[in-house]
Amino acid sequence: MNDTTEIDTIMQAYQGDVPGASVLVIRDGKAVVRKGYGMANLEDHQMAMPATNYRLASISKQFTATAILLLAEDGRLDLDQRVRQWLPSLPAATDAITIRQLLTHTGGLIDYEDVMPESLATQLRDVDVLHLLEAQDRLYFAPGSHYRYSNGGYAMLALIVEKASGLRFEEFLKQRIFEPLGMRDTLAYVNGGPAVSHRAYGYSENASGWTRTDQSLTSAVLGDGGIYSSIDDLARWDAALYSDRLLSRQSRELAFHPWTVTDDADVRYGFGWRITGESLWHSGESIGFRNVFVRYPQRRLSVIILSNRNDPEPYRLALAIARHFLDGT
């Protein structure tokens, strides 16, 4: 069975007139599988393609972390600075939290989604997350003592990028990451800003079929999950992670270092990356989207699945695809 046939079988549930997926396998710097399945837009019958842009959700965190590392390389900030040096309106309880602890989810910040007002009718932005946290003069634990995944922590990192660079977060990403790497269709999406080209819309399945569920009240928060990209652009990102083209070797080693144990004893967390054995990976889940990016840098193998549906979570599918290639090495 050839590579494409094997992956077609793994991705069978995404084929046809249903919300789809785009799949990329990179081996030794070459795309050995690059394919779309199903639909990016059910209403307009637009097929999912390699150029289709999906909301990355938490895969965005590796770009937020990279923005912080670039500013550290510039000498604009230090990873061990207190977060309140940049965001002094945060309450006194957060005084000991460092930028490094936000990167590794060890700051102890209260989950902003748990303190959103029930009356909220408009989408939150990163600065709105700050305002919610300003009212929470408490933490889950002493900074640095435990791990708890924190979307709010990455929203704070986006605001620090803005303070340290003098640019809007989406503009910093464009100027310092996306444009230099040729990721021309990738952007942190802001309502009223540039449109998402070749856009996939998110869907959820219910008893009557598929319903468009593309945006939620938290979908406009950029630092934790607001980037749209395609497998074609992520191939350029993947290539840059093997060289000093964007980040220095030292910065890449910081990002990929297993700093802390997560909720899963087999998984560590770096800066925007999970580490399991020899793999670096991150999933991304938001209303209507499920994505995963898995890298095996020593094997020069990467598997990316971007999908515009609420289920299933594609990590296991990516591992099955990876095994097809790893078993032959």
Is residue 328 predicted with pLDDT exceeding 80?
no
Structure confidence at residue 215 as a pLDDT band (50, 70, 90): very high
Catalytic, 58? Answer yes
For residue 194, is the peptide bond before it cis, meaning its omega torsion is within 30 degrees of 0?
no
Q: Which helix (H) or strand (E) holds 245?
A: none
Range of the domain at 187: 3-326
How far apart CA 167 and CA 175 sit, in angstroms, is: 10
**Angle of helix 151-165 relative to helix 126-134, nearest 10 degrees?**
110
pLDDT at 329 over 80: no
Q: How confident is the model at residue 191 (pLDDT cuts 50, 70, 90)?
A: confident
User: What is the residue type of 92?
Assistant: A
Closest listed residue to residue 235, CA positions, set 64, 28, 29: 29
What is the C-alpha separation between 287 and 90, in angstroms, rounded? Answer: 29
End-to-end CA distance of the chain: 16
- Per DSSP (E only), the strands in the chain are 21-27, 30-37, 39-41, 46-47, 54-55, 187-188, 203-206, 209-212, 227-229, 260-261, 268-269, 274-276, 279-286, 289-296, 301-307
Look at the pTM and tell me if it is higher than 0.95. Answer: yes
* CATH number for position 297: 3.40.710.10
Chain position carrying tokens 């937020």: 64
Give the model's pLDDT for residue 5.
87
Average pLDDT, the chain: 96
Q: Measured between alpha carbons, how far is 318 from 302 in angstroms, rounded to an integer?
A: 9
b/e sequence 298-316, b meaning 16+ C-beta within 10 Å: eeebbbbbbbbbbeebbbe
pLDDT (tens digit per residue) in 128-162: 999 999 999 999 999 999 999 999 999 999 999 99
Under 8 Å between Cβ of 291 and 57:
yes
Which position among 22, 58, 279, 302 bears the catalytic label?
Answer: 58
Q: What pLDDT does 27 receive? A: 97
Radius of gyration of the chain (CA): 19
Q: Is pLDDT at 217 greater than 80 in this prediction?
A: yes
Q: List all residues 6 or more positions away from 44 whose beta carbon is below 8 Å from its beta carbon.
A: none
CB 87 within 8 A of CB 130: yes
The number of folded domains in the chain is: 1
Q: Read off the tokens for 98.
A: 């460092």
Q: What percent of the chain has pLDDT over 90?
A: 95
pLDDT tens for 62-116 read 999 999 999 999 999 999 999 999 999 999 999 999 999 999 999 999 999 999 9
* Residue bearing tokens 């992670």: 241
